[in-house]
Structure 1
Amino acid sequence: MLSRHGVHQRRTSWADGPAYVTQCPIQPGGNYTYRFTIIEQEGTLWWHAHASWLRATVYGALIIHPKQGSSYPFPQPYGEFPILLGEWWNANPIDVLNMALRAGAAPKVSDAFTINGQPGDLYNCSSKDTEIIPVTQGKTYLIRLISSAMNEHLFFSIANHKLTVVAIDASYTKPFNTSVVMIGPGQTTDILITTDQPPSHYYMAAHAYASSPNVPINNSTTTAILAYQNVRTQRGAPIFPALPAYNDTPTVTRFTSGLRGLSFPHPPIRTVPKEVDENLFFTVGLGVNRCHRRRRCGTANGLNTTASMNNVSFVLPTNLSILQASYQGVNGVFTSNFPSFPPVEFNFTGNVSRRYWTPKRGTEAYRLKFGTRVQLVLQDTGVWMMHCHVDSHLTWGLAMVFITENGVGELETLEPPPPDLPRDRLDWLVLF
């Protein structure tokens, strides 16, 4: 189950990838070819496994270059390279997940962060395999930064080099300069750097950002080396960047405040409806459920940690994907009663009734007619999962599904399922 993160699926929702949402899992030893067309998109995206915690090690870059004859909205860089940030556990990530689920508590934090699969030379075990990026002095390079981290937001910086942000999630931005980038799980950032420093070796590094003071984090740092070519002798260690403190929220605010959209190559003509067909108000949060009677949960109150949207904790089906069930009219796989409003519109001044502390569990979707005007614009027919990309939150149920019904005519109708769409196998993988 591979999800092409951010690719618009035009009538090909079958190729979106999440297990038991748009397809059943690919069986061990099996194969499946995803077929889709990329239309009106360019930039940096990525692909990853979308079942259980398999994406901890199964991921890669998906780069869409400008069409032939087109150009970037900035000078053509001399070269480019992808930088994929990740998390590493010394244990099997699936075992880490299962232990957390059995205990009803948060999963163990990762043991290291990685750059292009390597923790870097701050670790004895990986110092010889540290990622080295060769560059030529006086040139401009495009860095395609991708965060495939599981649970942590990350600060990223390169020693003594100015970073110019030019795109976020395959959408061009007005260029702005910064010394540090903050990137969340699942996000991508395109950065221009100019190698205008004295020839030497410079660290690029990343470590965690966390705004919650009481949540354990991985406090390690991953490194790679930006290596100027024709350096005769490197004296001492590479120069290290000044990374912010793990809780430096003002730096995050300055970074996010600098993001502005760029209309390229010309301002697009968009008409915004003056009337809305449906008002949807979604809240997200953490809660607790009673622990299974046959096990002991590890939280302070002996309860099971959950996450929810509108006080519903999402549960994946285990025998058929939601898209298949919707397309074939199969009952008993999901319900269409996801609430459009939360049970309580909390204003941060009062108390919430104890009966809302425990979110209900269910496989619930919200149905919309094709062309329905909502504040959240849904393109394409099919089934679309909206979820938190912090995987511990997703594991606890912070997700829901939109089902967009067919419209009028072929171009507004979901294509039939591919003949080789993976079939169900109940005994392979129940957890997501």
Structure 2
Amino acid sequence: MAVALPMAAAAAAVVEHTFVVSQVGMTHLCQETLVTVVNGQLPGPAIEVTEGDWVAVHVINKSPYNMTIHWHGVKQRLNCWADGVPMITQCPVRPNHSFTYRFNVSRQEATLWWHAHVSCLLGCVHGAFIIRPRHGASSYPFPKPHREVPLVIGEWWQTDLGQIDKSLTNSFFGFNPSSATINGKLGDLNNCSGGLVEEGYVLEVEAGKNYLLRLINAALISEYYFKIAGHKFTVVAADANYVKPYTTDVIAIAPGETVDALLVADAAPERSNYMVALANQPSITNPPFPVTVTRGTLRYLNDGDDPAAAGDDAPPPLGPEMPGLHDMMPSFYFHGNLTSLRLAHPRGRTVPAHVDERLLVTLSMGSVCRNGGESCARGGSIDHSSVVVNGTGEQPQQLYTPLPERPPRPFNFTDRAFIPIGPTEAEAQLEPTRKATTGQRFLYGAAVEVVFQNTAVMQSDYNPMHLHGHDMFVVAQGHGDFDAARDVPARYNLVDPPVRNTVLVPSLGWAAVRFVADNPGVWYLHCHYEFHVAVGMATVFVTEDGPTVGSALPPPPADLPKCGGGHGSSLDAMENDLL
């Protein structure tokens, strides 16, 4: 339960939660699975705060796994120590130990989320993080909703997710969820040999009322298309940044992203309507990947009557027409149609017109071979480097190799000939990947542009790239290879680009972002496709201290978890080495 404790010297409050992380048995699809969860819930408890509040979350780890919690999208101004990245900014909370995260939430509103940041456990250890305006719902830059509804799109895995991570050392192929979920429910499209139909999520609405849907993609591996039959959405925010209202009948939401959308209950109230979340697949594989889908129901209430009163006389629910399974254009257009509300809202910021640092970063698959090439592990990479983070709990990572400004080996990045994995000459030359911990250092206040270039090397995936500690202006996206001479003047939006903490890099395409490095600390940058980051698609950005006390990173708190059993190890050395 959350307890709001007023602060004596300020109008803000301290919102306090206790998270007990443990394993429980959950039965779906006729099978009991051991699942790591918070407070026995899937999804975990929602944290609801008012802008400006302080948050204290007491994490009690009763699971068998090392644990950290990341507050996805929370800026953690001058407080990277609460960011929850194991072996980067903290040592994990070991089994049968506890730790309290303390941080402030300021100059942010709308929907974020929290999740585990160890192995694949974010797939079951996650929940909503809702930030409301300090002056109440009347200050929303859109009509005040009748009700606000968190909708967490996730996946159901019929295996312990902590065990899956151990198998990713050699390959991430062959792992697929059994179903998608909406707020933890698998829906009636799923059944098992016993004939038991899974329960679906039901959203009850009143005709004519306005609802704010707070969508979160907590899945490990897929972007989802979300639709409700007979209804349209007005998108008003993404990643806790307001956007110009955008009307659509389909929402595309990638792993790590959040979308706030208004829904008016304006369909015929005599019948229910299905809501469907379908995982899209960027390419057709042989054999094909299983289709991951779930559906729930939007049900109209009739003047407060029991919704079940209609019984068998009620017409069957209306189903939505979903985009094609392999059609990525709805996603491309959805993300491309979002623009910032910065000119109409006081929290708006100006995109940097002048850039101090530029990076072109390629995102690929590759292999790292050991024992003279006899043993090779395939994984993700940034500029042909798979990040190495010591996850054993012995010592935090302290050193890194500078990230090159441009790819060390330029080629036609999106040539489809590189996609097939096998002994083809073209792909074989590009597959080798070195193991290194890479990073990039920025002066305080530097304006940075990063172009993320997806490649076709052993994959055709999109990549949702999440930058901790910052928001990014998504100034452009495109298909094919990025060409500065062509794309910068033609495609760049420097007036009202959307502001995101997670940018979806299109399949066989690119995305350009700008941000200001004004938050001193060590910040993780990684793909939120969990299997990609688990095998190396990650790096760190380091922002140096500014010239004043208010722009310099304080030392880590004394109670930060210790590594290696706590015998004198701390993150002080890491702060000195990285900053």
TM-score normalised by the chain length of structure 1: 0.87
The offset of 1:307, in angstroms, is 1.5
The offset of 1:405, in angstroms, is 1.7
Cα distance, 1:268–1:116 mapped onto 2, change above 3 Å: closer
Cα distance, 1:73–1:339 mapped onto 2, change above 3 Å: same
Task: Give the partner amino acid of 2:545.
Answer: N
Query: Is the Cα–Cα contact under 8 Å of residues 86 and 118 in structure 2 kept in the other structure?
Result: yes
Per the alignment, residue 367 of structure 2 pairs with: 288
Q: SS of the residue aligned with 1:94?
A: helix
Whether 2:194 is the aligned partner of 1:117: answer no
Among 544, 566, 570, the alignment partner of 1:405 is: 544
Cα distance, 1:380–1:348 mapped onto 2, change above 3 Å: closer
Q: Partners in 2 of 1:89 and 1:236 — Cα distance?
A: 33
Deviations 1:49-84 (A, max 9, x none): 000111110000000011125611111011110000
Among 77, 80, 84, the alignment partner of 1:17 is: 84
Among 169, 179, 201, the alignment partner of 1:101 is: 169
Cα distance, 1:184–1:353 mapped onto 2, change above 3 Å: closer
Whether 2:285 is the aligned partner of 1:220: answer no
Q: Partners in 2 of 1:83 and 1:393 — Cα distance?
A: 25
Among 371, 379, 404, the alignment partner of 1:339 is: 404
Q: SS of the residue aligned with 1:34?
A: strand
User: What is the aligned-residue identity percentage?
Assistant: 36
Per the alignment, residue 66 of structure 1 pairs with: 133
Per the alignment, residue 362 of structure 1 pairs with: 436
Cα distance, 1:358–1:39 mapped onto 2, change above 3 Å: same
Cα distance, 1:195–1:268 mapped onto 2, change above 3 Å: closer
Q: Partners in 2 of 1:198 and 1:26 — Cα distance?
A: 51
Query: Is the Cα–Cα contact under 8 Å of residues 317 and 363 in structure 1 kept in the other structure?
Result: no
The offset of 1:43, in angstroms, is 0.7
Q: Partners in 1 of 2:404 and 2:565 — Cα distance?
A: 29
Deviations 1:313-339 (A, max 9, x none): 1011243334xxxxxxxxxx3224332
Task: Give the partner amino acid of 1:358.
Answer: P
Among 254, 261, 277, the alignment partner of 1:206 is: 277
The offset of 1:364, in angstroms, is 2.4
Q: SS of the residue aligned with 1:10?
A: coil
Q: SS of the residue aligned with 1:167?
A: strand
The offset of 1:291, in angstroms, is 5.5
Q: If each structure's strand is expressed as a fraction of its own residues, which one has the higher value?
A: 2
Per the alignment, residue 136 of structure 1 pairs with: 206
Deviation larger for 145-154 or 176-185: 176-185
Q: Partners in 2 of 1:255 and 1:272 — Cα distance?
A: 24
Query: Is the Cα–Cα contact under 8 Å of residues 80 and 142 in structure 1 kept in the other structure?
Result: yes
Task: Give the partner amino acid of 2:438.
Answer: E
Per the alignment, residue 47 of structure 1 pairs with: 114
Gaps in structure 1 of 5+ consecutive residues: 298-302, 323-332, 428-432
Cα distance, 1:269–1:185 mapped onto 2, change above 3 Å: closer
Q: Partners in 2 of 1:219 and 1:286 — Cα distance?
A: 23
Q: Partners in 1 of 2:116 and 2:414 — Cα distance?
A: 41
The offset of 1:33, in angstroms, is 1.4
RCO greater where, 1 or 2, for CA within 8 Å and sep 6 or more?
Answer: 1
Q: Partners in 2 of 1:15 and 1:349 — Cα distance?
A: 38
Query: Is the Cα–Cα contact under 8 Å of residues 281 and 341 in structure 1 kept in the other structure?
Result: yes
Q: Partners in 2 of 1:153 and 1:245 — Cα distance?
A: 13
Q: Partners in 2 of 1:176 and 1:353 — Cα distance?
A: 41
Task: Give the partner amino acid of 2:537.
Answer: L
Q: Partners in 2 of 1:245 and 1:426 — Cα distance?
A: 51
Q: Partners in 2 of 1:271 and 1:408 — Cα distance?
A: 23
Q: SS of the residue aligned with 1:287?
A: strand
Query: Is the Cα–Cα contact under 8 Å of residues 87 and 113 in structure 1 kept in the other structure?
Result: yes
Cα distance, 1:352–1:73 mapped onto 2, change above 3 Å: same
The offset of 1:167, in angstroms, is 1.1
Query: Is the Cα–Cα contact under 8 Å of residues 383 and 404 in structure 1 kept in the other structure?
Result: yes
Cα distance, 1:153–1:370 mapped onto 2, change above 3 Å: same
Q: SS of the residue aligned with 1:45?
A: strand
The offset of 1:358, in angstroms, is 1.1
Deviations 1:390-422 (A, max 9, x none): 011111200000111212121111122112111
Among 501, 523, 535, the alignment partner of 1:384 is: 523
The offset of 1:266, in angstroms, is 4.6
Whether 2:196 is the aligned partner of 1:57: answer no
Q: SS of the residue aligned with 1:27?
A: coil
Deviation larger for 41-50 or 363-372: 363-372
Query: Is the Cα–Cα contact under 8 Å of residues 70 and 83 in structure 2 kept in the other structure?
Result: yes
Deviation larger for 407-416 or 53-62: 407-416
Per the alignment, residue 340 of structure 2 pairs with: 261
Q: Partners in 2 of 1:220 and 1:307 — Cα distance?
A: 23
Deviations 1:324-361 (A, max 9, x none): xxxxxxxxx32243323221232459997966531110
Deviation larger for 342-351 or 141-150: 342-351
Task: Give the partner amino acid of 2:350.
Answer: R
Deviations 1:177-233 (A, max 9, x none): 111111100001111111112223221111111122227534032112212113441
Per the alignment, residue 247 of structure 1 pairs with: 326
Task: Give the partner amino acid of 2:440.
Answer: Y
Query: Is the Cα–Cα contact under 8 Å of residues 208 and 218 in structure 1 kept in the other structure?
Result: no
Query: Is the Cα–Cα contact under 8 Å of residues 341 and 348 in structure 2 kept in the other structure?
Result: no
Whether 2:339 is the aligned partner of 1:272: answer no
Query: Is the Cα–Cα contact under 8 Å of residues 229 and 273 in structure 2 kept in the other structure?
Result: yes
Query: Is the Cα–Cα contact under 8 Å of residues 177 and 292 in structure 2 kept in the other structure?
Result: no
Per the alignment, residue 321 of structure 1 pairs with: 396
Aligned length: 409
Task: Give the partner amino acid of 2:202.
Answer: I
Q: SS of the residue aligned with 2:361?
A: coil
Q: Partners in 2 of 1:217 and 1:379 — Cα distance?
A: 42
Task: Give the partner amino acid of 2:274.
Answer: Y
TM-score normalised by the chain length of structure 2: 0.66
Per the alignment, residue 215 of structure 2 pairs with: 145
TM-align CA RMSD:
2.6
Query: Is the Cα–Cα contact under 8 Å of residues 100 and 107 in structure 1 kept in the other structure?
Result: no
Per the alignment, residue 35 of structure 2 pairs with: none
Query: Is the Cα–Cα contact under 8 Å of residues 168 and 535 in structure 2 kept in the other structure?
Result: no
Query: Is the Cα–Cα contact under 8 Å of residues 237 and 260 in structure 2 kept in the other structure?
Result: yes
Q: SS of the residue aligned with 2:139?
A: coil
Gaps in structure 2 of 5+ consecutive residues: 1-67, 416-424, 450-513, 567-579
Per the alignment, residue 306 of structure 1 pairs with: 379
